[in-house]
């Protein structure tokens, strides 16, 4: 049990597998800084887990890739320092030696399993390749090993999955394949670059448990890159915090998490939204209802249409066709003026479809939805126009949701102008809104690409508020943002809510975020609401099995719950 043994002291790690000394990686001349990684020194001990934490642009991924020399040379190149694997300097090893090390002695797990696997090759073959290069085993031996490794990472029916293509697997299964790929030759070190970021929270918890377990079983060292302190609390033995390519803090997980020394580390830890629901004003039960949804349904795919003519003639040909998917299944929802409701669910739960139905981007199949008394189901595009100012949306991706060729001021003012406000007044209002969301009023004259992700999301919020909507639907507004920026945007939404009595439907997969902004919570699974109620009640006492799983899957929940009254801990822990 290497993982839970007493932490080795930092300075003299007695048995390092990997030792990085003064590593610097140079960026190309046109970059905003000369070095992506600035003289970083780290060690990873045998069988231990080192988490490297940082926000986007911190150089953590570049650092990880430079160990295996996977940098896109000549744009990025190692400018100095040593990378010692059991004393051998990889920074100076030749290509032949590097190829032996890659996959054989050090392996890597990447963030997005969908794009990290070749879409045109079966996953079995993709793992087999490693054995083919590094061993002289026969085909049958290699196949046995691949299947055994698939069993190790607990993929169902390994014999079948060997012949599957990446797109035929789920996101979690794909990441298990990636992990199998990294484990198959039992390397000394696995580098995992945000391996759970693209996964759902329950899948993330399973993958983390699996990694930890396999690491202990095989005694592999793990270098884990992440931006998520919850994950750090879950698996790290030691932690290194990076910012702008430099190491700002380095120590045992316990020390860094409980007693961070550097102000940046403290800020990062503080920015993690608490799992403890904030005290919100009691929602008034007498406030007028803004949104009333009854038995709303939306089905994708061939709903009622039978098989086509050919399939009718030859039923055998119709097998394996996709049947209809009920994305939203008889959903009831009530939102009163001034309240904030979190709609929580994993990917595929139908939360985004529901939102799209509510703002008229999708037409619901049946049921009813009233926005301040007006029925929206069955409205044509033209009939929607007068309602557009009632409901507005803040979108998930701040980079894709603003027109890059339109000035920020016009983006914000356009909605109001379409509603009949005169352009001068609309522009004035746009400037006031920019000020309100914490940007300079001069931003109105600039284009979206000049702003960072967090700033763009502020612009998105200003745009949504410009038509003074009755209800604001926020679809994962912070999931594309770094954790410190995320906190600022959440605080902004909270402020705006208090200031203007905004009504909000907040869609998220992240229970922490839900707890941070909303006093009511609705849990959605496979298009059906499985649980609803006050956030505090649900967190303290989840009724539905699925809600319990969701809560138990939040990484780092125990770390954050320290010192809290016992009744807040989920049952069974």
Joined tokens for residue 145: 């090993």
- Nearest CA to 472 out of 497, 508, 438 is that of 497
The smaller minimum CB distance to another protein, of residues 298 and 390, is found at: 298
Query: What is the smallest separation between the CB atom of 128 and another protein, expressed in angstroms?
Result: 10
The smaller minimum CB distance to another protein, of residues 31 and 310, is found at: 310
Query: What is the smallest separation between the CB atom of 391 and another protein, expressed in angstroms?
Result: 30
Residue 474 near residue 394 (C-beta atoms within 8 A):
yes
- How far apart are alpha carbons 31 and 479 in whole angstroms? 26
Query: Packing angle between helix 123-134 and helix 171-183, nearest 10 degrees?
Result: 10
How crowded is the C-beta side of 491, counted as CA atoms within 13 Å?
13
Strand partners for 554: none
Neighbours of 372 (CB within 10 A): 16
* CA separation, residue 434 to residues 10, 387, 391, 395, 438 (Å): 47, 24, 20, 17, 6
The smaller minimum CB distance to another protein, of residues 222 and 256, is found at: 222
Spatial CB neighbours of 15, under 8 Å, sequence gap ≥ 6: 45, 46
Spatial CB neighbours of 545, under 8 Å, sequence gap ≥ 6: none
The smaller minimum CB distance to another protein, of residues 134 and 390, is found at: 134
The smaller minimum CB distance to another protein, of residues 45 and 103, is found at: 103
Joined tokens for residue 426: 């609309």
Q: Where does this chain bind another protein (CB under 8 A)?
A: 65, 68, 70, 72, 99-104, 107-108, 110, 112, 115-121, 129-130, 133-134, 165, 167, 178, 181, 301-302, 310-311, 314, 316-317, 319-322
- Nearest CA to 299 out of 366, 348, 380, 378 is that of 366
- How far apart are alpha carbons 179 and 196 in whole angstroms? 11
The smaller minimum CB distance to another protein, of residues 191 and 471, is found at: 191
Query: What is the smallest separation between the CB atom of 367 and another protein, expressed in angstroms?
Result: 23
- How far apart are alpha carbons 483 and 56 in whole angstroms? 10
The smaller minimum CB distance to another protein, of residues 310 and 425, is found at: 310
The smaller minimum CB distance to another protein, of residues 112 and 397, is found at: 112
Query: What is the smallest separation between the CB atom of 302 and another protein, expressed in angstroms?
Result: 5
Write the secondary structure of 266-287 as one string of H (helix), E (strand) and C (coil): HHHHHHCCCCCCCCCCCCCCCC
Query: What is the smallest separation between the CB atom of 145 and another protein, expressed in angstroms?
Result: 14
Query: What is the smallest separation between the CB atom of 69 and another protein, expressed in angstroms?
Result: 9
- How far apart are alpha carbons 442 and 480 in whole angstroms? 25
- How far apart are alpha carbons 337 and 283 in whole angstroms? 9
The smaller minimum CB distance to another protein, of residues 317 and 564, is found at: 317
């Amino acid at each position: 049990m290497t993982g839970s043994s007493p932490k080795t002291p930092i300075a003299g790690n007695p048995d390092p597998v990997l030792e990085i000394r003064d590593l610097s990686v140079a960026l190309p001349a046109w970059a905003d800084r000369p070095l992506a990684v600035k003289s970083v020194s780290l060690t990873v001990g045998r069988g231990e887990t080192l988490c490297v934490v940082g926000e986007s642009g911190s150089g953590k991924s570049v650092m990880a890739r430079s160990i295996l020399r996977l940098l896109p040379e000549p744009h990025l190149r190692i400018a100095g320092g040593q990378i010692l694997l059991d004393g051998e300097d990889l920074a100076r090893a030749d290509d032949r030696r590097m190829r032996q090390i890659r996959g054989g002695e050090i392996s890597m797990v990447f963030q997005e399993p969908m794009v990290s696997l070749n879409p045109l090759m079966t996953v079995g073959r993709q793992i087999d390749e490693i054995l083919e290069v590094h061993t002289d085993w026969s085909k049958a031996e290699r196949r046995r090993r691949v299947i055994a490794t698939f069993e190790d990472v607990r993929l169902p029916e390994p014999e079948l999955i060997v012949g599957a293509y990446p797109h035929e697997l789920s996101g979690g299964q794909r990441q298990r394949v990636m992990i199998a790929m990294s484990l198959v030759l039992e390397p000394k070190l696995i580098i995992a670059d945000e391996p759970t970021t693209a996964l759902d929270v329950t899948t993330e918890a399973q993958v983390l448990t699996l990694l930890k377990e396999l690491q202990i079983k095989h005694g592999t060292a793990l270098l884990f890159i992440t931006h998520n302190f919850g994950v750090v609390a879950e698996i790290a033995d030691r932690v290194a915090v990076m910012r702008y390519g430099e190491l700002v803090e380095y120590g045992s997980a316990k020390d860094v998490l409980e007693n961070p020394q550097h102000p940046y580390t403290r800020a990062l830890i503080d920015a993690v939204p608490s799992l403890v629901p904030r005290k919100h004003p009691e929602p008034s039960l007498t406030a007028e209802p803004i949104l009333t949804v009854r038995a709303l349904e939306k089905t994708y795919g061939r709903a009622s249409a039978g098989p086509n003519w050919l399939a009718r003639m030859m039923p055998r040909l119709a097998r394996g066709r996709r049947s209809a998917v009920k994305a939203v299944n008889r959903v009831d929802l009530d939102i009163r003026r001034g309240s904030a409701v979190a709609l929580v669910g994993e990917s595929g739960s139908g939360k985004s479809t529901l939102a799209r139905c509510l703002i008229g981007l999708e037409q619901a199949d049946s049921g009813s939805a009233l926005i301040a008394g007006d029925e929206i189901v069955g409205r044509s595009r033209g009939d929607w126009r007068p309602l557009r100012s009632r409901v507005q949306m803040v979108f998930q991706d701040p980079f894709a949701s603003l027109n890059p060729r339109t000035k920020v001021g016009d983006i914000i003012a356009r909605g109001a102008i379409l509603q009949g406000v005169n352009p001068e007044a609309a522009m004035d209002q746009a400037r006031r809104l920019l000020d309100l969301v914490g940007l300079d009023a001069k931003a109105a004259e600039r284009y979206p690409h000049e702003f960072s992700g967090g700033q763009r999301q502020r612009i998105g919020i200003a745009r949504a508020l410009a038509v003074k909507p009755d209800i604001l639907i926020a679809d994962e507004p912070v999931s594309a943002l770094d954790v410190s920026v995320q906190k600022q945007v959440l605080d902004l939404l909270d402020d705006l809510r208090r200031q203007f009595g905004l009504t909000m439907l907040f869609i998220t997969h992240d229970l922490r975020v839900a707890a941070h902004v909303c006093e009511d919570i609705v849990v959605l699974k496979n298009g059906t609401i499985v649980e609803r109620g006050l956030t505090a009640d649900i967190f303290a006492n989840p009724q539905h099995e699925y809600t319990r799983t969701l809560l138990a899957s939040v990484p780092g929940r125990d770390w954050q719950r320290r010192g809290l009254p016992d009744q807040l801990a989920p049952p069974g822990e």
